[in-house]
């Protein structure tokens, strides 16, 4: 994988150094640094980036104290901290009617009160398990690496003193928003769903809660922002129902599905 990243970096730098007279080489250098970072980011650096992003996100939102009904409900369900698979997760509620939840690579899990209003306790625990799954399966780390790679490409375009460069320069930033609204591939969603249902099973809870949670989320409509980061919940619900009914039968996505999902990821990062 790293070999292909380095090939892309070399081609990328040679492409933007071709038109020397219209190129800002300081920006090209920055772009090259970002491209290398995308390849070499360690788990420790990923967690530092995620921690900084989660702190900034917390500043922008109103957090429910433990005395609040939402804060108390979450605390009674899972507490403020939970350790699993070598990760220390921390949980908070954003007091907002928005229906959303997200995870950061450092173990930060945030859920919006709007989503809590939709779900019963066991359904909520499935969603929390799902978000933890994105962390454990290192999906968030990949999003951060893709963000750096995407920023490197945008910087390379921005090094060109033309209209395309002006447009690219205006799109810098937004790492926090990208992570909060990260769009996951079908395979990543399957893995997170499996982690969520395993979490319910570990707690001795009703696995049907995973199915009912996804069916409720599906009622939001295709244009809802939560569904852009958690696609096709009704399809995922059917898959989990089949998995519950036939635990011995599990199917992985085809290679074509995986390739299409990866291409969509890159398109979303670069838009």
The pair of three-digit structure tokens given for residue 132, joined into one six-digit string: 């933890």
In this prediction, residue 153 carries a pLDDT of 43
In this prediction, residue 151 carries a pLDDT of 56
Active site residues: 131
Helices vs strands, H then E, count in the chain: 14, 4
The pair of three-digit structure tokens given for residue 165, joined into one six-digit string: 């460069």
Give the separation between CA 103 and CA 90, rounded to whole angstroms. 10
Q: Report residues of the chain scoring pLDDT below 70.
A: 1-41, 147-176, 178, 222-231, 249-271
| Beta strands at 101-103 and 108-112: parallel, antiparallel or unpaired | antiparallel
Q: Which residue has the tokens 């009617």?
A: 97
pTM for the predicted model, two decimal places: 0.71
Per-residue pLDDT tens over the stretch 119-133? 999 999 999 999 999
The pair of three-digit structure tokens given for residue 263, joined into one six-digit string: 């291409």
In this prediction, residue 150 carries a pLDDT of 55
Give the separation between CA 264 and CA 103, rounded to whole angstroms. 20
The pair of three-digit structure tokens given for residue 2, joined into one six-digit string: 């790293």
In this prediction, residue 199 carries a pLDDT of 95
The pair of three-digit structure tokens given for residue 95, joined into one six-digit string: 């007091």
- What residues does each domain of the chain span? 2-270
Per-residue pLDDT tens over the stretch 18-62? 444 444 434 334 444 444 454 556 777 778 778 888 888 899 999
In this prediction, residue 23 carries a pLDDT of 40
């Amino acid at each position: 994988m790293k070999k292909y990243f380095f090939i892309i970096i070399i081609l990328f730098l040679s492409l933007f150094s071709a038109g020397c007279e219209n190129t800002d080489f300081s920006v090209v250098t920055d772009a090259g640094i970002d491209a290398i970072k995308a390849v070499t980011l360690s788990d420790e650096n990923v967690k530092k980036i995620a921690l900084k992003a989660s702190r900034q996100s917390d500043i922008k939102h109103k957090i429910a104290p433990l005395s609040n009904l939402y804060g108390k409900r979450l605390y009674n369900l899972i507490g403020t901290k939970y350790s699993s698979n070598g990760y220390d997760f921390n949980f908070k509620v954003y007091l907002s009617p928005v229906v959303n939840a997200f995870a950061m690579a450092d173990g930060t899990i945030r859920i919006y009160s709007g989503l809590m209003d939709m779900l019963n306790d066991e359904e909520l625990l499935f969603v929390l398990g799902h978000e933890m799954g994105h962390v454990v399966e290192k999906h968030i780390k990949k999003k951060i690496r893709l963000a750096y790679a995407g920023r490197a490409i945008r910087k390379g375009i921005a090094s060109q003193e033309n209209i395309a460069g002006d447009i690219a320069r205006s799109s810098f930033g937004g790492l926090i928003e990208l992570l909060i609204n990260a769009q996951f591939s079908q395979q990543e969603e399957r893995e997170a769903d499996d982690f969520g249902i395993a979490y319910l099973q570990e707690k001795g809870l009703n696995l049907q809660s995973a199915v009912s949670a996804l069916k409720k989320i599906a009622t939001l409509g295709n244009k809802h922002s939560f569904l852009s980061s958690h696609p096709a919940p009704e399809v995922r619900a059917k898959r989990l129902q089949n998995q519950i009914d036939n635990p011995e039968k599990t199917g992985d996505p085809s290679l074509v599905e995986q390739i299409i999902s990866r291409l969509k990821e890159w398109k979303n990062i670069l838009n």
